[in-house]
Amino acid sequence: MKNAAVAAMFDKMADIMAIKGENAFRVNTYRKVGRILRDLTEDIEQVHREGRLTELSGVGKSSAEKIAQFLQTGRIRAYEELAKGFPVGALDMLKIPNLGPKTVARLMQDKGIQSIEDLEKAIEGGDLVGMAGMGKKTIEKLRHGIEFLRRSAGRIMLGKALPVAQAVVESLAERCDLPAIEAAGSLRRMKETVGDIDILATVRSKRRKGKKAEEVPGGREVVEAFTSLPNVAEVLAAGATKGSVRTEEGLQVDLRVVSPESFGAALVYFTGSKAHNVKIRGIALDKGLKINEYGVFRGEACMAERIAGATEQEVYDCLGLPWLPPELREDRGEVEAALAGTLPELVSPDDIRGELHAHSHYSDGSLSVMEMAEAARQMGYSYLAITDHSPSLGVAGGLSAKRLRRQQADIEAANRKLSGFTVLKGTEADILADGGIDYPEKVLATFELVIASVHSRFGMSEKEMTARIIKAVQNPYVTAIGHLTGRLLGQREAYQVDVGAVVAACAEHRTALELNTNMERLDITDLVCRQAREAGVKVLLGTDAHHSRHYWMMRLGVGTARRGWLEKGDVLNCMEAEELLDYLRQPTRST
């Protein structure tokens, strides 16, 4: 699918126009089209062939013509006109946290800076000193932002990598007779960001006698099918058992084909983590065994006997361990827990009963309350919380008291129409600078669920930010603290906050922590999830959905929750509707 490629073109046009200071309405229109195309679950080429481009919400005639032009020719004339004479490196500067188009334009005009490298030299050379709006703190923030960008380079958000990996696995399984094919690496462990995408497959043919372990008859045909997949933009390597490609989304995917008798051992090995593999190799050595990507062996190298390797279960059985969920394989005590019989029974996607953080068109969402509810019900959920923004977040259409009454009337109407499904009255209310909540108590009392989040003043000291959030934790109307650290993966670092102190306050006041499952956040992290579990703090999973297309990201949150050792009983979304409502009716403040 070329969805991502077309979306990237609209993003670039919007960025160039914004830097040039062109009409804000046109800039936002292009940005909106980019978002629509990235979120689209259908193949944009199929939509185009069926003449349905203008049926996509937010895609007008002009944008549809540009999309069609790109799909037919690989070019957009409007983009080429905009980009004529424009330094490509200037767009990269927009990736620096807190550096917007207007500042980039001034840097270009006043200082001739056209790239991140130019900016870095200007900072080091003191060229920005004395420039309007460029105080010492601002310059230091730019320096820090460049360092952050460099640290993040080469990492792919899980939410971008997972759909690509799934598409490759499904497409290759359709084309080849494969007894097993699976994603491996950090993606299988559901880390929040991954490097390249690793795919492991095996074939039905057995390795012929006398052949080396790394030779797999039939592997070359699988690699050829892999490098010929529709989403492949570039073939980087293709051999008898290994292939590497770059997809239309710009992601590198590596395939390795192994023999059936080695598939389980290879899956353990290439799933990792390195620390987990070192741990289990140590257990193998203590038992007089050797474990590698080809299997588990007993005896000296020249006479070694393979005793396991076809499945992961076989491998772990040889070590006296139960099969370990990939998300736990980080050498954070999972092997010790397995040996002691105390492994957690991890939460699973099937345990999720509802969505608890979603926005409607009343704030910055795209759909009505009823449309969001219908989509949630179609997913098999039994409840949905509509949590539109509070007044102070004007940029996101925060709800005044008057608009809130209309929204809550819509929720009540939806509940009358939707038999067996509950729409909860909720809000994502701002935590103000002093720790107050952005609604008076009489309004907060009308909500069944309140997520309190920081959306401003990120530059507070750790002491100030911690006190601010803890004051919100203590508010008896607050159900959960939203996206605790405020980070955006690869875009914005977490603000300073004493997470341990917040977790302790949540435990004292019976306030939950949100695990925001949006691919750009995954905040709280897996480590904080485990910290919350150990403190007895409930975790709320919320996709922060602004369209029903975002509901799928619940899977990312479940993966993070599993990495944090969370069980069904630790997660609010695993409660049935009536149980959840009973829980929410209880006061949050400890007595």
Distance in angstroms (rounded) separating the CA atoms of residues 236 and 244 = 5
For tokens 């530059």, the residue is 459
3-57 residue pLDDT tens: 888 999 999 999 999 999 999 889 989 998 998 888 787 889 999 999 999 999 8
170-188 residue pLDDT tens: 999 999 999 999 999 999 9
**Burial (CB count <10 Å: 0-12, 13-18, 19+), residue 171:** middle
Across residues 109-118, what is the average pLDDT? 94
Asked whether residue 228 carries a pLDDT value surpassing 90, the answer given is: yes
Distance in angstroms (rounded) separating the CA atoms of residues 432 and 50 = 49
Residues 330, 375, single domain; the answer is no
Flag whether 146 is in a domain.
yes
295-348 residue pLDDT tens: 999 987 666 899 999 999 999 999 999 999 999 999 999 999 999 999 999 999
The secondary structure of residue 544, as a DSSP letter, is: -
Q: Which helix (H) or strand (E) holds 170?
A: helix 158-175
Residues 102, 20, single domain; the answer is yes
What string of DSSP letters covers 406-448? HHHHHHHHHHHHSTT-EEEEEEEEEB-TTS-BSS-HHHHTT-S
State which residues form the domain around 104: 3-152
Distance in angstroms (rounded) separating the CA atoms of residues 292 and 215 = 16
Flag whether 591 is in a domain.
no
- Tell which of 111, 136, 152 closes a domain: 152
Contacts of 313 (CB under 8 A, 6+ apart): 264, 323
pLDDT for the residue numbered 396: 85
- The model's pTM is 0.85
What string of DSSP letters covers 248-286? TTS-EEEEEEE-GGGHHHHHHHHH--HHHHHHHHHHHHH
Our CA dihedral for 401, 406, 409, 413, rounded to 10 degrees, sits at: -160
For tokens 């905040």, the residue is 523
Do the Cβ atoms of 244 and 256 come closer than 8 Å? no
Asked whether residue 214 carries a pLDDT value surpassing 80, the answer given is: no
Give the strand pairing for 354-358 and 449-453. Answer: unpaired
- Tell which of 123, 152, 181 closes a domain: 152
Do the Cβ atoms of 501 and 440 come closer than 8 Å? no
Asked whether residue 207 carries a pLDDT value surpassing 60, the answer given is: no
Residues 267, 220, single domain; the answer is yes
- Closest C-alpha among 272, 237, 265 to residue 253: 237
Flag whether 191 is in a domain.
yes
- Closest C-alpha among 350, 373, 352 to residue 361: 373
Total of domains in the chain: 3
- Closest C-alpha among 73, 48, 56, 45 to residue 231: 45
- Tell which of 130, 152, 174 closes a domain: 152
Residues 250, 185, single domain; the answer is yes
Flag whether 470 is in a domain.
yes
For the chain, the average pLDDT equals 93
